[in-house]
Amino acid sequence: AAGVIQSPRHLIKEKRETATLKCYPIPRHDTVYWYQQGPGQDPQFLISFYEKMQSDKGSIPDRFSAQQFSDYHSELNMSSLELGDSALYFCASSFHTYSDRTYEQYFGPGTRLTVT
Amino acid sequence: AQRVTQPEKLLSVFKGAPVELKCNYSYSGSPELFWYVQYSRQRLQLLLRHISRESIKGFTADLNKGETSFHLKKPFAQEEDSAMYYCALTYTNAGKSTFGDGTTLTVKP
């Protein structure tokens, strides 16, 4: 079965550069979540999109922006990179059915960003 | 290769009953194990980490290195415990986490 795809898997950038991370959700999933996990830290929620609209926002710096496109893939744009942005960035997707049940969230393998 | 297995996709119990969510892992080093919870339409939240050995919302989890397990337990389930639970393994020095596929817990009244 198809899973959440993230690209690139590894990215090395210098300070003050720009990076774009991509996430391709599981087919028919309409919601995408972005998480940031620093070395030895818990994943921190950044932002989520449902049906191409921002649905929730967490600890995402103003230097970052994201969007979900018509094909439901999402891109996380990071500008003026800082050393502290070095982390693993997880994307997850889910499908929001009209029910009271919780929604399963499937995570991608992550993109490891290293800022030097 | 590192791997986290949550064998139960769905788990349903009645309110007041004990609940155990299973998690097994495979990793050659000394991992850090976590449980994350996601309530309906909400973000993933950290529930427990094995190094702190604390009880959150009545949940406990013990790392059993012999059995490579980190099962999540609660003696008396509550309806508000209904959520998605993820077990995760972190490689301390690399900072990379591997998550299980998750278990959906439904607590019925």
Nearest chain A residue (CA) to B90: A40
Show which of residues 51-110 on chain A sit within 8 Å of chain B, judged by CB atoms. Answer: 56, 58, 87-88, 90, 92, 96, 100-107, 110
Q: What is the pLDDT of residue A101?
A: 38
Write out chain A residues lying below 8 Å of B97, CB-based. 37, 43, 88, 90
Nearest partner of A31 among A76, A93, A84, A106, judged by Cα:
A93
pLDDT, tens digit only, all 109 positions of chain B:
678 899 998 999 999 999 999 999 987 777 778 898 877 756 667 788 777 767 788 999 988 888 999 999 999 999 999 998 989 886 544 335 677 888 989 999 9
The sign of the dihedral angle between the CA atoms of B48, B7, A112, A65 is: negative
Q: What size, in residues, is chain A?
A: 116
Q: Which residues of B touch A112 (CB under 8 A)?
A: 96
Closest CA–CA distance from residue B49 to any residue of chain A (Å) = 10
Q: Are A21 and A109 in contact (CB under 8 A)?
A: no
**């030097």: which residue's tokens?**
A116
Tell me what the mean pLDDT of segment A24-53 comes to: 83
pLDDT (0 to 100) of residue B28: 73
